[in-house]
A and B are shown apart, each in its own frame.
Chain A
Amino acid sequence: MRFIKFLLIGFLFGVALIKSEAMSWFRIQEMFRFQSIHMYGIFGSAVAVGGLTVFLIKKYKVKSFQNEEIILTSKPLNKVGNVLGGLSFGFGWALTGCCVAPLFVLTGFGSLAAAIMLLSAIGGVWFYGSIRERLPH
């Protein structure tokens, strides 16, 4: 039962992704060609809502539903990894038209290609984990 909230939040996120078409290869092409505000509007408005609520949570020291202190930690800056990993992800994003959540949502949408992409992405994660010590970070 304690997992049901995570299922519902994922579900809401997935439905918003599908209905915004943010996991469509066509929309990603439109974005990388700067031909519509659509994707930028999604990012901008999502970050505006996220940023404002995070600010309020910090300012008023809002406690979680379980009355715990809410923990907010930034990911560590790791210049080489952020750039080289980011470039690799960017190549994949343009090819597949998918970031990670879209891979899950399109698999649920019934796309065989997306299910293969997801398996391949998990393979990519496994490969990264296996050679991590030998990569510059």
Chain B
Amino acid sequence: MNEIYQSVILAPWPWYVAGPIMGLSIPLLLFFGNKMLGVSSSMQHICAALIPTKAEYFNYDWKTGAWNIVVAIGIVLGGLTGRLFMQNPNPINIASSTKSDLQSLGITDFNGMLPVEIFGNNNIMSFQGFLFIVIGGFLVGFGVRYAGGCTSGHGFMGLSMASKSSLLAICAFFAGGLIMTNLIFPLIF
């Protein structure tokens, strides 16, 4: 029993288990809710609900998107459950080539989900922390809505429908990530 708990609940899941489960959320949402998967719209609805603004983009009844905010709350609860009951006690098992690349950038602690050197509480107020956390988060939010969707809306849902717009957006997501990782990271570490 303890072994099952260790290998199924605590250990990370391989991609061929987790990927299909995430993919299943698409038909589940279509069948039970008649809604298309997409997480980033929830942030638009949160703005529309909470921030007073005259912008047309937020000028609608946010309650039409309440279901989307509820999905986001479910995701938060999934994260909380992962922390409380399913946390992997071992350092992350990434490729050794990635490890050595990151070590050459000064990242040596491979515990947890985020490197403590960048995202730890002590680094949040530093310039580097500001760049990765505040600027990075801002670019994510601005970019996803400008592109019309995120990795779930364009990536999972859009590609499942073979949508041209989603394919173009995914290529741009990837191009941005490659430019940042390979050209800009060497300058900012």
Beta-carbon contact of A101 and B23 below 8 Å: no
Best-buried of A50, A77, A93 by chain B (most CB within 10 Å):
A50
- Docked-complex contact B67 and A6, CB < 8 angstroms: yes
Interface residues of A in 97-137 (CB under 8 A from B): 97-101, 103-114, 116-130, 132-133, 135
8 shortest interchain CB distances as A-B pairs: A90-B176, A14-B78, A10-B74, A86-B172, A108-B79, A124-B141, A85-B146, A49-B23
The secondary structure that dominates the B interface is: helix
Query: Total A-B residue pairs with C-beta atoms closer than 8 Å?
Result: 501
Q: What's the interface size class on A, roughly?
A: 35 or more
Chain A residue at smallest Cβ distance from B10: A19
Residue of B nearest to A35 (CB): B95
Binding site for A on B (CB under 8 A): 12-37, 39-40, 42-44, 46-47, 51, 53, 55-58, 66-68, 70-83, 86, 92, 94-95, 97-98, 101-102, 110, 113-115, 118-121, 124, 129, 131-166, 168-182, 184-185
Q: Supply 26 A–B pairs (Cβ within 8 Å), ascending by A.
A: A10-B72, A10-B74, A14-B82, A15-B81, A17-B22, A18-B86, A33-B97, A33-B98, A53-B26, A74-B166, A75-B154, A77-B165, A81-B147, A90-B176, A96-B132, A96-B136, A103-B140, A105-B79, A108-B82, A111-B114, A119-B137, A120-B133, A120-B134, A125-B44, A126-B53, A132-B57
Q: Which residues from chain A contact B156 at a C-beta distance below 8 Å?
A: 43, 46-47, 50
Cα distance, A23 to B152, chains bound together (Å):
13
Which residues of A are at the interface with B, using a C-beta cutoff of 8 A? 3, 5-33, 35-39, 41-51, 53-54, 57, 62, 64-66, 68, 70-79, 81-101, 103-114, 116-130, 132-133, 135
Q: B133 near A117 (CB under 8 angstroms)?
A: yes
The CA of A29 and the CA of B73, in the complex, are separated in Å by: 27
| Docked CA distance A68–B35 (Å) | 11
Q: Which residues of chain A have C-beta atoms less than 8 A from B37's C-beta?
A: 50
